[in-house]
Every structure is written in structure tokens, then in C-alpha cells.
A and B are shown apart, each in its own frame.
Chain A
Amino acid sequence: MAGLLVGRAFRPRAFAGVSPVLAVALLFFTGLGVGWPASAAGPLLLESFFVAVLCILFGVSTHALLGRVKRG
């Protein structure tokens, strides 16, 4: 919230390039904490893929449902 208010009030341009650099650092540290779970890599990737697919399928269905409710 503080960030949103600062952004709205001052519209600082310098911040535009900051978040990608921080994102790179964040993911490096995350990788460093995680390591590469070799034995779990296969199932983990598969489960992650299906989490994404299920989120998308349910999201699209929910929007279709909301549209039908709106039209009555």
C-alpha cells in the first residue's frame, strides 16, 4: 500500500528498472535455498504443470459462469 501511494503521489521514473533487477536477485536466492531436488524433479514438474492447467481451466469456467449469471 505504501508503494502504491508513493507511486501515485510522485510517479518516480527511476523505479521502472529496479524491479527486474530485484526479481533476478530474488530468484537466485530462491534457487540457492531450494537446490535441485533431483529425485523429486519429475513429479514436481508434472504437478506444477497441472496446477497451472487447473487454475486456467477453472478460471475460464468461472468467467463464463459469471457472464451467464450477469445475463440472468
Chain B
Amino acid sequence: MKAGQARLSLVLLASFLAGAAAKTAGGFASTLRPSLALQLVLLLFVFSVSVEMGSRVDLVGAGKLLREAVRLSVSTVLGSAAGGVAAALLFGLGLRLSLAAALGMGWYSFDAPTMASYAGAPAGSLGFFSNFFRELLMLLLYPLAARVLGRGRSLVLGGATTMDTTLPVVRGAADPDTVTLAFAHGALVSVMVPVLVSLALA
């Protein structure tokens, strides 16, 4: 894993914890109601990520790769939805919240604010940590999973993160074709996350 990507993950975790600490500490910060700012920044964020994705994806002459990426993405989405339903049944979480957390598919910087603005603060925490753990598990387990389950199939672990934060791990443990597949899989899943999370919360 590249130091820059690791640093970004740590900075993102630190910013969430700093916000939580400021709220818990009381004083001026605890009186703020950040929901409007949250929605505005969320809109800008989704737009900037889409622009970035549109400028980087080049699908010309990539039919076979795209077919495998679609199959992987479908597995990721169906598996996450099934995981969400199972978690709702096992832990007594609400089905909508559990599905929304699961369908974030690792994209915690999108899922947590969306869940917080639609369903309140505790839902935001669930969205943040479940997706943060998914990214963490991908970072820790991909090299082993690639050997046991196969380099392609193991990309399901990372969900949407395989196009950015966990791509260096794939690069370190797999061949260049799998790296391209990881990017395509992550891009396809990232396009679906906002739609699926909104549907789950609707």
C-alpha cells in the first residue's frame, strides 16, 4: 500500500473523529447543526468524483474486461445486499439502515454523510464504521484472499474502494490485468452506490 493512500485513509478517519470529538466536547461546536453544510458538500463531492471517474475511464476495446467487471460488480452488489439483510436479521438493525450501510460497499465518505442526513446521527456512525471496516479488511486480507480465492474474485472484498484507496494493494499482489479489472469493478460499483443507498433509504 502506498504511503499517500494510507495517509489519506488516516486523515479521513481523523476528520470524522475530530468532528465527533468537537460535538461531544460541547461548547460552540456542539451547538452547530451541520445538516445543510453536509448536503451541500455531499452534492459537490458526488459531482467531483463523477467528473474524475468520467475523465479516467476509457472503455474502448475492453469488452472482455468489462464483462468480467460487470459480473464482479453484480456479485458485489448482490452479496452486499444479502449481507445487509443478514445483518438486519442477526442484530435487529432496521432493514433499511442495514441495507444502506451494506450497499455503501466500502465508500464510507459517501455512505456515512448520506445515512446521517437521511436517517440521523447513529445511522451515520453505522454507515461510517461498516464501510471503513470493509476497506480495512480489503487492505489486510487481499494478498491472502487472492491466493486462496483467486485474484479476480477477491476484488469483491473491496467493493467501491478497488478503484482508488485499495488499488495499490491489488497492484502489489496481482498482475496488471487484475489491476485494470479492479479499477473497472470499483468504477462500476461507485456509479451504483449513490443510487442503491438512496433507494435503500427511500
Query: Measuring CB to CB, which residues of chain A are less than 8 angstroms from any residue of chain B?
Result: 1-13, 15-16, 18-20, 22-38, 40, 44-45, 47-64, 66-67, 70
Contacts and interface: CB of A to CB of B under 8 A. Distances in A.
A7 B52 contact: yes
B175 to A, nearest CB: 19
A36 B99 CA distance: 23
A31 B48 contact: no
B125 A34 contact: yes
Contact of B116 (A4, A33, A60, A67): A33
B126 interface: yes
A53 B49 CA distance: 26
B196 interface: no
B20 A36 contact: yes
Main secondary structure, interface of B, reads: helix
Main secondary structure, interface of A, reads: helix
Contact of A35 (B23, B51, B53, B117): B23
Contact of B55 (A11, A31, A33, A54): A11
A51 B105 CA distance: 10
Interface string B1-45: 000000010011101111111111000011011110110011011
B98 A51 contact: yes
A2 B20 contact: no
25 contacts: A5-B54, A8-B54, A15-B48, A22-B48, A25-B41, A26-B110, A26-B113, A28-B15, A30-B19, A30-B116, A30-B128, A32-B19, A32-B20, A33-B38, A34-B20, A35-B24, A48-B101, A48-B128, A52-B130, A58-B86, A59-B157, A60-B154, A62-B78, A62-B79, A63-B156
A63 to B, nearest CB: 4
B75 interface: yes
B129 to A, nearest CB: 3
Nearest to A3: B50
A46 to B, nearest CB: 9
Which of A16, A25, A37 has the most chain B CB atoms inside 10 A of its CB? A25
What 6 pairs across the A-B complex have the smallest Cβ distances? A7-B54, A31-B19, A3-B50, A59-B79, A48-B129, A55-B83
Given A16-B52, A28-B16, A53-B83, 19 more contacts: A3-B49, A7-B54, A27-B112, A29-B38, A29-B113, A30-B112, A30-B113, A32-B32, A34-B19, A34-B20, A36-B21, A37-B121, A37-B122, A44-B122, A47-B87, A54-B102, A55-B84, A60-B75, A63-B156
